Amino acid sequence: MQVRPMTIGGAWVFTPRQFPDERGVFLESFRADLLTEVVGHPLDLQQTNTSVSAVGVVRGIHFADVPVGQAKYVTCTTGAVFDVVVDIRVGSPTYGQWAGVLLDDVDRRAVYVSEGLGHGFISLQDGSTVTYLCSSSYNPTAEHGISPLDPAIGIEWPATARDGSALTPLLSEKDVAAPSLAQAAGSGLLPHYQRVLDYLRSL
């Protein structure tokens, strides 16, 4: 399995080696020992989530309070999504920046998103199925979102689907109503970079 860091500290892309034959394909989609070596601590798996999305569906940008936060190991088992990590850590050298990667059922990449980072994606195909290995269980009082269309962040969401047709972004009511990055920072909603680093060192 190949690993490369994203331009946002605390996020990595994992690309598995695949072994195809006449029966299909085999791969290691997750390696706890490799993840621990890269991240510096093990993923304390507490919950697994699965979402199935129609083409154009945008989920995010979501994050959780730190501590305890919620790290995610994200894969797309069917279909394709453009996956995005946003640095929402106040005081971070890459605060307000984003990085994206294609997750699909061809290269079968995965993204690890550390605690304190924002995460989201847009589905590029009907039925895109995304699986998240999460370090903490769902806590509605500690989970938040920022607008995925915030021009100050400037995420370059794809304009075309996997089949080449035009994409029309479809957001939930909650994500439509989510604050901008500046509004979230002004209300004290965002995690602070140094506090996140201190928490990660304690794991």
| Torsion over CA: 162, 167, 170, 176 (sign) | positive
Q: State the number of CA atoms in the 13 A half-sphere of 89 facing the CB.
A: 25
| CA 182 from centre of chain | 20
Average pLDDT over residues 146-157: 98
Q: How many CB atoms lie within 10 A of CB 111?
A: 24
Average pLDDT over residues 48-74: 97
How sure is the predictor about 35, in pLDDT bands with cuts at 50, 70 and 90? very high
Predicted local distance difference test score (pLDDT) of residue 197: 97
Predicted local distance difference test score (pLDDT) of residue 86: 98
Give catalytic residues, as residue numbers: 62, 132
Average pLDDT over residues 64-83: 97
Average pLDDT over residues 108-133: 98
Average pLDDT over residues 44-57: 98
Q: Which helix H or strand E contains 105, and what residues bound it?
A: none
How sure is the predictor about 39, in pLDDT bands with cuts at 50, 70 and 90? very high
For the chain, domain boundaries: 2-201
| CA 117 from centre of chain | 8
Residue 113, strand partner residues: 11, 72
Average pLDDT over residues 16-26: 97
> What tokens does 130 get?
């995304």
Predicted local distance difference test score (pLDDT) of residue 41: 96
Average pLDDT over residues 126-135: 98
> What tokens does 8 get?
């946002």
In whole angstroms, what is the distance from residue 170 CA to residue 22 CA? 38
Residue 120: CB partners within 8 Å, gap ≥ 6?
Answer: 58, 59, 60, 61, 62, 83, 84, 86, 148
Report the mean per-residue pLDDT for the chain: 97
As a CATH number, domain 2-201 is: 2.60.120.10
Predicted local distance difference test score (pLDDT) of residue 10: 98
How sure is the predictor about 95, in pLDDT bands with cuts at 50, 70 and 90? very high
Predicted local distance difference test score (pLDDT) of residue 111: 98
Question: Would the pTM count as exceeding 0.85?
Answer: yes
Pairing between β-strand 80-86 and β-strand 47-53 as defined by DSSP bridges = unpaired
> Radius of gyration (Cα) for the chain, nearest Å?
16
In whole angstroms, what is the distance from residue 105 CA to residue 194 CA? 36
